[in-house]
Amino acid sequence: MAAPASFVGVVPPPPPPRMRRMLMMLLVMVILTLTAVSSSFSSVFVCVSGEELVSPGLASSHVQQSQQQSSTMRMRHLHHRRNLMESSSSSSSSRRTTTGTATTSNPSSSSSSGGSIPGVAGYALQFADNYAAIPEFSNFPSTALTFETWVQSTDICSESTVLSYAVDPSKIKSHHKDESEFLLESRAYNNFVIFNLRELIACHDFVWMWKIPDTYVGPPDYWGGCRTFYGEKGGETLSSKVSQNYVDRTGAWHHLAVTWDAASNGTTSVYYDGLLAGYAVTGRTNPIPSGGTLIIGNDQDCLGGCFDESQALYAALDEVRIWNVVRSQPEILASMRDVNSGITPEEDNSDKTSGAFRQGGIAPRYVYKHPNLIAYWKFDEPNDEQSNGAVWGHHSKAHDYSGNGNHLLLGAPPTLSKLERPSRSDQLVGLAKPLGALDFHRRQYAINYDFQGMPEGDITIEFWAKTDAVTSSESPGTKLHKGATVMAPDSERYDEFISFSARSIGDSDVSNDEGYADVAYLDDAIVIEKYYKEFQDPNAWPGLLDNAEGIKSTIGAMSVHINANREGNGKANDHWIDFATDWIDNDWHHVLVSWRRSDGETRLYLDGKEQTAFWKSDFGKVSNANNLAETPDGSTIGAGTSRSSKGSLVLGKQQECHGGCFTSTYSLDGSLANVRFYDGAIRSEEVIQTLAKSITSLEEMHDTLSQKGLGLPPIAAVYEFSEENTHRDADTKEPDTVRDLGEHRNHLALGSTSANYVLSTVPLMRDGRIAPGPRAGAAGYALMLNDQQVALVSEFKGFPSKAITVEFWMSSTDRCREGVPFSYATGPWGGTAGSGAKHENDNSFLIFDYTNFGISVMEDEGHQDSLMIENFGDIFGMRSEAGSDWRSGVGATDGTFHHIAVTWESEAGATNLYIDGRLAWRVQRAKGASIPDGGTLVIGREQDCRGGCFDSARGATGLLDEDTATTDIHGIQDFYGIIEELRVWDRVLTQQELRANIQSDQGLFPDDDDRDRPDRSSRRSSSRRFGTFSNPGVNPKSPGLKAYYKFDEGEGYVARDATGNGNDIILTETPSWIVTDWKSLCGDGILQGAEECDDNNKDDGDGCDHLCRVESGWQCSKTSPSICFQGEGGDEEESPSSSTAPARGVEGESSSSTTAATTEGDSSWSTDATVRPPPRESSFRSSFFRGEGEEGGEEGVDSAPKPWYNSEKDRDQIIRAFREAEDGEGGHHHRHNHDHRRGGGILHAIGWTMVVVVSVLLISLLVMRRRTIVPWIRDDFMPWLGRGWSRATDLLPPALARRVGGGMSTSRRLSRNSARYQGLDDDFNMHGMGAEHEESILPLGGGGGGGGG
C-alpha cells in the first residue's frame, strides 16, 4: 500500500519567480539572524562534558558527595540550566523578619506555600533527656515563688525532673555544726527541685528527694526526705500516693502549678489543672540564693551538671512562668488558659540594635510586663514575628517574654580552647605554638553523619584529652576491696571520647549464619570511653580484681569497644575490653588505641605507657582478671570481624542509633585535641613514645618521625581544632564546623542535644472562647497512638503472602515500653490446623519493640537464647549453641522522626530492617512460608489473639493478655508516639526505592521536574505531582501498593486507605490527630516552599541569608541549590524580595568579621562546605535524610539529590547565562573574560538589528502580497517545513529530539529514534546506567505519559 503524499515528502508547487527571490533573501536574513541571536545565548545551553559533577568544596561529612553522577542527574542538571533563562531574582511577596538564630512561621507565608500554620498556642518544647538552662539566674525568687507550666507526658518510667535550681555550696548555711561537706553540697544542688511527674513533689533545701524508711530527727530538719512531708505515709513506702500524677496515657495536656512560701513555714502547694492536689509544710524557710543555675528538664547532682538519664524529663512543656509571689488558686485558675496570662502585651523595642535586628528583623517582640513576673517562656521562637516561619531552623535560646532578659539556653556547640602544657611537661616536646582544643560539656558533640573511609580492619586512634578531676564521694573514706577508696560523685558517669557506628559486612546469604544475623548494626563499631563506676562489689562482681596486680579500683578505667553491639544479635557482637588506667585527675593525657583484625589484639597506651586489661567480653564470653593474665589471648577481642567503612562518627557522645539516640549519662565533660585515625595498627614502641611526647601538628609529627627513619600508617581522618580549621556561623559567630585534614574530608558538625519544638495544642482561650489550634499544610496530619486506642483493619483484603514491604514514619520518646508499630494476625496463639499441626498465627507478620527492633513472620522470631542468657550471658559467659538473631540491637525512640522499613520474601526468608534508608539488620525468617490473607491488622498494639489479647498494662483499652504483668517476657508492648505515612507493598522494595519514597515523603522533589522520581509516568498524566513540597508522599496507584495510610483525615474515626483497596483503619476510641509541622529546610540546597533562595548553607553575606531570603543588592537563581551574585558596582535596582534586607558587604565579601579560612584553589574547605546537625524539630520533614551514601549497600545507591554544578568554571558559565538572560553584569568571587563579553555584546547588537530589519521587510511583503503569500504559507510551505523539521529530528538522540521537536515530535517518531539510539546517547550511558534509570530520564511515549503506576 502506497504511503500518503503527506508522508513521502511531496514538494509543494513553486511560487512565482519574483516572490521566490524575495523569499530567498528573507531566508538568508533569517539564517544570519538566528546565528547572531544564538551566539548571544550560547552560554545558557552549557554542554555537559564527561566531567564529574560534584559540588565545589561540598565534600563535607554532613552530605558526603559521590564522585560520579548518574545520567538521571545529568539530565536534571541540564533542565535546571535551561530554566536559568526563566528565573528571576524576585520571590514571594510575603516577607519575614528575624531575630538571632530563631526561625518561624507566618500564616500567610505558610499557607501560600503549602506549609502548616501554628495555632494561637504557637509552639511547645519537647524534652527527651535534654534540658534548657540559665547558667546564672540573677533574680530568681528568694522568699516566695510560683512556678506554672502546661505539661504533656506519657512517660511511666522516669522520675522526671521538671525544674532544678542549684547554687554554689558557699552560698548556703549549715543546718547544724556537724553537717558534712557532702550533705551541704547536696542541699545546695537540690536548692529547689520540682520532681517526678508521676507523683509530683516540690522541694527546697533538702538532701534527699525521698528517703524510705525515713527517720524523724527533730528541728530544723524534722525528716530527711522531702517526700515524707507529703501525705501521711510519704516516708514509709513508695507505693503510697502522696501527690498528683501528671502522666496522662492519652497524651492530654495538664496545667501544673507549684507555690512555695518561706513566710508560711516553708509551705509548698501543688496544683493540678488549677485544683489543689497536694501540699507540705516543710519548715524549710532559708532564702533561695540568687545567681544559681536553673535547669529545666533534668536534675543537677552538681552545679550545672552530673545528670542522670533516669531523672530526665520526657515531656512537652509550654507557657512556663516564674513569679516572685505566691499566687492564689483563683489567680491560677483565672490566667492558666488565657492566651496572655491575664497581662496586656506591649511592644518591646529594647533590643532593636541587637544582632537580631541587624539581620533584618523589623517587627518588635511582644512582652508581658508585670511587677511580679520574673520569667515567661512561651517557646514560640518558630513563630515570633522575627523569624521566617515557613523555614525550619535551629534555635539557640528560648526568649523570656517577661522583658527581664532571663532567656533559656537551648544548646550551644563545643567551644574552642587551647591545649595547655600537662604537668609532666618536662618530658614533652612541642607547644611552641599553642594547639587548639575543643571543650565539651555533657550535651555537646562533634558529628559526621556520613563518614567515609574508616578502616575496615586494622586501626589506630590517638588523641589528647582532659576530663574533670574526681574529688568527692557520697561516703568519703569508705574502704573497699584491696584498699580502694570510693571517689566518684556519680557512679553512673561516663566520659565518651570516640563513637563510630556502622554495620557488619555480610554476604547477602541469610542461610549460612548459624542462627545469627547476616548484617548487624554496630552502634559501638568503635567506642573509647572512661567510666567512674566502682565494680569492686564482692556481692555483684565477686573476685573481679583478685588476680589483677597493681589494680585497686575501676574508677577512672578506660573501655574500648570494637565492632560491637551489646543489645542485639544474641551478644555475638559483644566485644569490649577494659583497662585499669586510674585516670582521675584533670590534666591533659595522650591516649593511643590500636586493634589488629587478624587476632583481635587490642592495646591501649596512656601517655606512652601500655595499660593492663582486667575485664573483657569477646563474642559475648566474659572474662575478668582471674583469667586474663593467664591466657595468651587476654587482650584480644573481635578477631576476624570487620565493620563497614561508612558510618557515623561522633566525638563527645555515645550513639545508640545512627548519629543519635544520645543520653546524658554517656557524654563527655572535658576537652579533646589532635584526634587522628590511622589505617593500620601501630606497634612500634618508638613511634608510640614519639607520639605521646610530642604535642605538635601532624605535619610537624611527620617531620619528627622522618628524622628518626620512622613513619605512620595512612591517615583516615585528622582533626586539629585550631581557628584556621574551624568555620564559624555567620549569625551566632560560634564554631559550627571543624575541618578534616585527611583526604576523605570528613568534616565535623558541631552541635548539642536540645529539646524539640513541636506545634502546641495547649487548650488556651481568647476572649472567653477556645483559641484556634494549628492548621495543617500540604503534609496534613499524623496519628498519635497510646494504649487507650485500637487502630485496626478487621479483615485485610489482599495482604501480601510471599513478599512484603512495610514502611512508615514514627516519633517517640518512650524508652520503657517495647512498643509494637505493626501487628498482623490470622489466628490465635497456639491454634491447630485442620491436619492437627500446631500453628501460631497471632504473629503472622509482626514488627515489635521500637527500643530494640525485632521481626516475626508466621511466629518465626529467629533464634532465641533463654531469658537468663539474654540478660546475664555477659556475666556468666554463656552463649546459645543455636545463636540468637532475635533482636536487632537498634531502636528509634529518641524523640525525632525516623523512617522504618521492613522487607521479607519467602523463597530464602531474607528479612531486612532499614532505618532512615540505611540497612541496619538482615536475618532469616519463615523460609518458604506463606502469609494467609484476610487477617486482622492492628497498628500500635500487639495481638496474642486475632483482634485482641494485647500485651498491655492494666487500664488499657481492649481485651488484654492476663499473663502480661506476670509471665510474659515482652512486657508492655503498646506504641506511644506518632505514626505517619504507613504503606504496605506486595513486593520487596529495593534500598533505592525506599530512599526515593523517603524523599517523596519529605517533599524533596521540585515541583517543576519529576523525571527522576520512580513513579513519574503516572504523575505526568495527573494535575498534581507527588513527592513535592506542595504534594508530599508517593503515588497511591503505584504498582504493588496494597495499602497506604496518610493519616491526613484530621477528624473522625477512620483512617482511609489511599490506594482505594478498601483496607480502611477503624479507630475504636477518640483519636488524637496531630498536625504535621511542614516547612522548608533552609540550607539543604533544595529550593522549595516559601524559600526565596537556598544556596546549601546558612551563611549571611553571600546573597542568600540564614533564613533563605535574597539579600539586598543580590540576585539568586531559582535552582537547587541557588547561585547568588551581585550586580556590577552594586547599582542594580533592588529586587522586591530583598527590599527590607540590609546590604551585606562589598563585592561579595562577607561583612562578618569571622569567616571560614579558605585557601585559594582548595576545594576541600569553603563556607559552602559547612555541615550542621539536623534540626531537632517535630516533623519528619525536618528529620535528617538527604540521600546519604549507603555503607556498601547492595543496590549501589548514589547520594541524591546533589548540587548540579561542578567547578568554578561551570559556576561562572551559569552565572553569566543568568546575567545575560537578566540583561545584567557583575559578579561575586568570579572573574570573567571581558573581551568575550564585549564580543558577545557586539553580536548581540547586530543580531537584534537584523531582527528589526527582517521584521520590517517581512511585514511590508505580507501587506503588499498578502493575497498570494498567506494562502501559500498556510497550504503549502508550513506543511512542507513541518515535515522537513520532523525528518531532521529523526537524526537526533531522543533526549535532544524531545527538547527541540515540540509538539511535532510524536511518540511514534521518538520511538523510532530510540531504536536508532538504543540506551540514549553515549554521554548518558557513560556510567552504565540501567534501563530503569534511562526511563527516568526520558519517557519514550511522548507527551501523554504512560498510564497509572
- How confident is the model over 724-737, as pLDDT tens digits? 999 887 767 889 89
Asked whether residue 702 carries a pLDDT value surpassing 50, the answer given is yes
Name the residue with higher pLDDT: 1196 or 278.
Answer: 278
Q: Find the mean pLDDT for residues 377-389.
A: 74
Question: What tens digit of pLDDT does each residue of 1282-1306 get?
Answer: 676 666 666 655 555 554 554 433 3
Q: At what angle do helices 1294-1301 and 1307-1316 cross, to 10 degrees?
A: 150
Asked whether residue 1275 carries a pLDDT value surpassing 60, the answer given is yes
HSE toward the beta carbon, residue 475, CA cutoff 13 A: 8
Residues 6 or more apart whose Cβ sits within 8 Å of residue 722: 435, 436
Q: What percent of the chain has pLDDT over 90?
A: 41
The single-letter DSSP state of residue 799 is: -
Question: What tens digit of pLDDT does each residue of 747-771 get?
Answer: 999 999 889 899 999 999 988 899 9
Cα-flanking dihedrals φ and ψ of residue 1070, to 5°? Answer: -60, 120
User: Grid coordinates standing for 747?
Assistant: 568534616
Q: Measured between alpha carbons, how far is 726 from 966 in angstroms, rounded to an integer?
A: 56
From the number of C-beta atoms within 10 Å of its C-beta (0-12, 13-18, 19+), residue 1160 rates as exposed
Q: Measured between alpha carbons, how far is 187 from 1102 in angstroms, rounded to an integer?
A: 52
Asked whether residue 42 carries a pLDDT value surpassing 50, the answer given is no
Q: What is the pLDDT of residue 347?
A: 81
Q: Measured between alpha carbons, how far is 864 from 541 in angstroms, rounded to an integer?
A: 26
Question: What tens digit of pLDDT does each residue of 533-552 get?
Answer: 887 766 666 667 766 666 77
Q: What is the pLDDT of residue 1089?
A: 77
Q: Find the mean pLDDT for residues 925-936.
A: 94
Q: What is the pLDDT of residue 471?
A: 58
From the number of C-beta atoms within 10 Å of its C-beta (0-12, 13-18, 19+), residue 731 rates as buried
Asked whether residue 837 carries a pLDDT value surpassing 80, the answer given is no
pTM: 0.76
Q: Measured between alpha carbons, how far is 247 from 814 in angstroms, rounded to an integer?
A: 13
Helices and strands, counts by H and E, the chain: 19, 62
Name the one residue in this structure whose C-alpha cell is 539579600. Answer: 1111
The single-letter DSSP state of residue 585 is: S
- Range with the largest mean pLDDT of 12-26, 208-222, 647-661: 647-661
- Bin 343: left if φ > 0, else alpha if -120 < ψ < 50, else beta: beta
Please report which confidence band the pLDDT of residue 424 belongs to, taking 50, 70 and 90 as the band edges. Answer: low
Say which amino acid occupies 895: G
Asked whether residue 931 carries a pLDDT value surpassing 70, the answer given is yes
Lowest mean pLDDT among 371-385, 846-860, 1318-1332: 1318-1332
Q: What is the pLDDT of residue 1146?
A: 28
Lowest mean pLDDT among 16-25, 110-119, 1001-1010, 1277-1286: 16-25
CB 258 within 8 A of CB 326: no
Lowest mean pLDDT among 291-300, 708-717, 864-873, 987-996: 864-873
Q: Find the mean pLDDT for residues 75-91.
A: 28
Stretch (H or E) spanning 914: strand 910-915
Asked whether residue 362 carries a pLDDT value surpassing 50, the answer given is no
User: Grid coordinates standing for 804?
Assistant: 512484603
Q: Find the mean pLDDT for residues 552-561.
A: 90
| Sign of the CA dihedral running 369, 373, 378, 382 | positive
Q: What is the pLDDT of residue 20?
A: 57
Q: Measured between alpha carbons, how far is 935 from 844 in angstroms, rounded to an integer?
A: 9
Q: What percent of the chain has pLDDT over 70?
A: 66
Q: What is the pLDDT of residue 304?
A: 87
Question: What tens digit of pLDDT does each residue of 1113-1136 get?
Answer: 999 988 888 899 886 433 333 333
Angle at 712 between CA 709 and CA 716, to 5 degrees: 160
Question: What tens digit of pLDDT does each residue of 791-827 get?
Answer: 999 999 999 999 999 999 999 999 889 999 999 999 8
Q: What is the pLDDT of residue 793?
A: 97
Question: What tens digit of pLDDT does each residue of 606-647 get?
Answer: 999 999 898 999 998 888 877 676 667 788 999 999 999 999
Angle at 413 between CA 411 and CA 418, to 5 degrees: 140
For residue 185, give the 3-state DSSP assignment.
helix
Please report which confidence band the pLDDT of residue 830 belongs to, taking 50, 70 and 90 as the band edges. Answer: low
Asked whether residue 8 carries a pLDDT value surpassing 60, the answer given is no
Name the residue with higher pLDDT: 1255 or 894.
Answer: 894
Q: What is the pLDDT of residue 1286?
A: 66
Q: What is the pLDDT of residue 1297?
A: 57
Question: What tens digit of pLDDT does each residue of 222-245 get?
Answer: 888 888 888 777 666 666 778 889
Peptide bond into 220 cis (omega under 30): yes
Question: For the chain, what is the mean pLDDT?
Answer: 75
Please report which confidence band the pLDDT of residue 569 belongs to, taking 50, 70 and 90 as the band edges. Answer: confident
User: Grid coordinates standing for 14?
Assistant: 513553486
Please report which confidence band the pLDDT of residue 1173 belongs to, taking 50, 70 and 90 as the band edges. Answer: very low
Asked whether residue 403 carries a pLDDT value surpassing 60, the answer given is yes
From the number of C-beta atoms within 10 Å of its C-beta (0-12, 13-18, 19+), residue 479 rates as exposed
Name the residue with higher pLDDT: 70 or 563.
Answer: 563
Asked whether residue 602 carries a pLDDT value surpassing 80, the answer given is yes
Which residues share a beta bridge with 417? Answer: 437
CA distance readout (Å), 244 to 210, 226, 296, 938: 16, 15, 20, 33
Q: What is the pLDDT of residue 286?
A: 93
Asked whether residue 1231 carries a pLDDT value surpassing 50, the answer given is no
Question: What tens digit of pLDDT does each residue of 476-531 get?
Answer: 333 333 333 334 444 678 999 999 999 999 888 998 888 889 999 999 999 999 99
Asked whether residue 170 carries a pLDDT value surpassing 60, the answer given is yes
Name the residue with higher pLDDT: 1072 or 383.
Answer: 1072
Question: What tens digit of pLDDT does each residue of 643-679 get?
Answer: 999 999 999 999 999 998 998 889 999 999 999 999 9
Residues 6 or more apart whose Cβ sits within 8 Å of residue 717: 451, 453, 454, 649, 675, 676, 677, 740, 742, 744, 746
Question: What tens digit of pLDDT does each residue of 1312-1336 get?
Answer: 333 333 333 333 333 333 333 323 3
Name the residue with higher pLDDT: 440 or 971.
Answer: 440
